[in-house]
């Protein structure tokens, strides 16, 4: 399956220099506003998401997938959209990609209980197709509200859909990794999606570099 144990490595054979840049102006996105933030709370947000009918995915979903983990996490991870296992269990990243994700964060000393993980889209799409632009737009407010309630110190975007949504860009993932962007004043780092890594195992060394970069960014921003 390709899910082996990722161990933290003191020294990593770096066969490719990781381009480290500070916040690039091109990724400094405008602040999204959520006018209801002052009185927002987890119960209202979860109830709204559970009953959401903003797009047609509500007619095909079995249940919504809100997100899971620590609601006061320093680290917030954002994936694309729930797959079948996630929809069945109502939890994000519980299938094969989720197993690899758990190993990936363990390699930088994190557990699922310490982080919060969610998706750009809270409903499964038919046949797991990529979310449509209007679906992303309709769901984005929920992501903003989750970020505003959690107040993470760093957001890690898993894959191009999360990266492009958070950074408001259509640049490919290869151009976004190794740089620190911004989502409503929270630093954003981009890494390969674990589902992609399961398909393209040779890319795993890049994912390790990206995780190392994320950890470095987190430490630099810890105040
Ligand atoms: N892929 C995602 O992007 N999210 C999940 O929750 C599972 C797989």
Instruction: Identify which of 103, 63, 104, 102 has the alpha carbon closest to the alpha carbon of residue 85.
Output: 63
- Give the angle subtended at the CA of 166 by the CAs of 198 and 130, to the nearest 5°: 50
* Domain carrying residue 164: 39-221
Q: Greatest CA separation found in the chain? A: 50
pLDDT score of 24 more than 60: no
Q: Whose Cα sits closest to atom 3 in ligand 1?
A: 80
pLDDT score of 75 more than 50: yes
Task: Provide the domain count of the chain.
Answer: 1
End-to-end CA distance of the chain: 40
Asked if 207 and 192 touch (Cβ cutoff 8 Å), the reply is yes
Would residue 33 count as lying in a domain?
Answer: no
Would residue 6 count as lying in a domain?
Answer: no
Would residue 15 count as lying in a domain?
Answer: no
**Nearest-atom index, ligand 1, CA of 117:** 6
DSSP state of 195: H
Output the pTM of the full model: 0.88
Would residue 30 count as lying in a domain?
Answer: no
Would residue 76 count as lying in a domain?
Answer: yes
Would residue 171 count as lying in a domain?
Answer: yes
195 touches ligand 1 (CB under 6 Å):
yes
**Nearest-atom index, ligand 1, CA of 158:** 3
pLDDT band of residue 194 (cuts 50, 70, 90) is: very high
92 touches ligand 1 (CB under 6 Å):
yes
β-strands 181-183, 186-191 pairing: antiparallel
94-139 pLDDT, tens per residue?
999 999 999 999 999 999 999 999 999 999 999 999 999 999 999 9
Would residue 17 count as lying in a domain?
Answer: no
Tokens of 64: 């919504």
CATH value at residue 66: 3.40.470.10
147-164 pLDDT, tens per residue?
999 999 999 999 999 999
Would residue 32 count as lying in a domain?
Answer: no
131 touches ligand 1 (CB under 6 Å):
no
Tokens of 147: 């970020």
């Amino acid at each position: 399956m390709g899910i082996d144990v990722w161990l933290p490595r003191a020294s990593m054979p770096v066969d490719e220099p990781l381009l480290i840049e500070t916040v690039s102006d091109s990724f400094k996105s405008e602040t999204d506003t959520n006018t209801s933030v002052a009185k927002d709370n987890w119960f209202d947000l979860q109830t709204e998401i559970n009953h959401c009918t903003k797009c047609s995915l509500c007619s095909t979903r079995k249940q919504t997938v809100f997100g899971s983990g620590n609601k006061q996490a320093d680290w917030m991870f954002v994936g694309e959209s729930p797959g079948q296992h996630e929809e069945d269990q109502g939890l994000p990243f519980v299938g094969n990609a989720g197993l690899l994700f758990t190993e990936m964060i363990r390699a930088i000393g994190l557990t699922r209980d310490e982080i919060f993980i969610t998706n750009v889209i809270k409903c499964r799409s038919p046949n797991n197709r990529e979310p449509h632009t209007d679906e992303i737009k309709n769901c984005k407010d929920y992501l903003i509200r989750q970020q505003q309630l959690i107040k993470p110190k760093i957001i890690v975007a898993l894959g191009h859909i999360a990266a492009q949504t958070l950074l408001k860009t259509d640049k490919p993932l290869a151009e976004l990794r190794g740089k620190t962007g911004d989502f409503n004043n929270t630093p954003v780092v981009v890494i390969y999606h674990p589902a992609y890594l399961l398909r393209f195992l040779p890319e795993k060394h890049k994912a390790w570099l990206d995780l190392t970069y994320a950890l470095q960014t987190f430490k630099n921003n810890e105040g």
